[in-house]
Amino acid sequence: MGSDRRIGVIHLISGLSMGGAERMLLWTARHFDREAFDIAVVSLMTGGPFASLIRGEGVRVVEMDQRRGLITPGAILRLIRLVRGFSPRIIQGHLFHSNMLSRLIAPLVPGACSLSTRHNEKDTPLRSVFYRMTAPLSAGTVVFSEPVRRHATGDSPRSGEVRIVPYGIEIARTSSERAEVRTRLGIKPETFVWIAVGRLTGQKGFDLLLEAFSHLCREDERSMVLLLVGDGEDRAALQHQAAGSVPSGWVRFLGEREDVAELMEASDAFVLSSLWEGGPLVVLEAMAACLPVVATRVGDASNMVVEGETGLLVEAGLPAALTHAMNHIMDLGPAGRKWGKRGRERVESHFGFERTQKSLEDIYRDLLEP
């Protein structure tokens, strides 16, 4: 990196477990312009499925074995030496801790500038203070939706610093593994399968989803299952809640999975219960899997979902609204597949990742213009 005419970019991220920011890094590793750029990824924590996947694309990945939310002084010094050794022109942080580190480290790396990436429309007041304090150290901020742009602009004193990049995903080919995946999971062909994907944390509102699903189970005699894909600190509490409110076997905690696309194709509809988001990318992935969507009106969801055509939107934090919308989707019958097909068509025409990557690379070039 830095030894040829290509622009060196280091992506700094807290970890490489399942998540939207992590998935976007994998797509970047697959789609970046290799003639114009040379990239590497530094993960503060060690582990997570995306580390090996990104390496598999021929991109260097360094894992620093730090704990979540904590980094030792020795590790900071090691990180500075590591980044200097790469000689990047751009150090791009992803999410709060890595954004802070990229801003602090960039002045110590000759010829490098810091680029922050904001993925959420909400931060704690303390984090907002740190963003404002370190704003002079950042050459710019990338966001992927208008709600996040409005939020980030409040922490960025310099006019024009926040740049919107259009959201996009890598669109997977549809497969014919639906029956096989259902059989593997022990799900009958007639069972209606809901799927939700995300970290099991308070932000994702899975406790509200379980409350909504328990009401749906009591009000509806149809056979149904909710697949929860992901892991996190709230898993034990959510399992306890499900055990006390939903018939046994009707909620499946599947943990972190690398076959999310196949699980989606084995499902009948997708539900997002988040209290706040930046994207959410997973809504686009569900639409690409031809699933009708129920989503809370967070982040850029209202730009992704065409209400009444590809899915339904509800206000965040209202389990009864989720129950009503989920029941409506189940009542669609065969029309639900038409909603799903329209959703995929919308993703194919508006949300391909190639456009996202090109916009990012244009920003890199703009930052380095004399």
Judged by phi (left if over 0) then psi (alpha if -120 to 50, else beta), residue 64 lies in: alpha
Q: Give, in order, the Cα–Cα distances in Å from 209 to each of 205, 238, 243, 314, 365.
A: 6, 10, 14, 12, 43
| Residue 116 phi, psi (nearest 5) | -90, 150
Q: How many CB atoms lie within 10 A of CB 330?
A: 18
CA 111 to chain centre: 31
Considering only CA atoms, which of 39, 142, 137 is closest in space to residue 360? Answer: 142
pLDDT, tens digit (0-9, with 9 covering 90-100), for 130-150: 999 999 999 999 999 888 888
Domains and CATH numbers, the chain: 7-170+352-368 (3.40.50.2000), 178-350 (3.40.50.2000)
Q: Which two tokens stand for residue 331?
A: 């009542």
**Are the C-beta atoms of residues 146 and 213 closer than 8 Å to each other?**
no
Give mean pLDDT, residues 61-79: 89
pLDDT, tens digit (0-9, with 9 covering 90-100), for 162-204: 999 988 999 877 776 788 889 999 999 999 999 999 999 999 9
Q: Which two tokens stand for residue 283?
A: 């809504």
Beta bridge partners of 12: 42, 93
The residue written with tokens 């807290």 in the block is 14
pLDDT, tens digit (0-9, with 9 covering 90-100), for 89-100: 999 999 999 999
Give mean pLDDT, residues 62-82: 89
Q: What is the pTM of this model?
A: 0.86
Q: What is the pLDDT of residue 121?
A: 80
CA 296 to chain centre: 15
CA 59 to chain centre: 20
Q: What is the pLDDT of residue 157?
A: 67
pLDDT, tens digit (0-9, with 9 covering 90-100), for 219-277: 888 899 999 999 999 999 999 999 999 988 899 999 988 888 899 999 999 999 999 98
Q: Which two tokens stand for residue 67?
A: 């704990």
Q: What is the pLDDT of residue 88?
A: 96
pLDDT, tens digit (0-9, with 9 covering 90-100), for 146-163: 888 888 888 876 655 899
pLDDT, tens digit (0-9, with 9 covering 90-100), for 295-335: 999 989 999 999 999 999 999 999 999 999 999 999 999 99
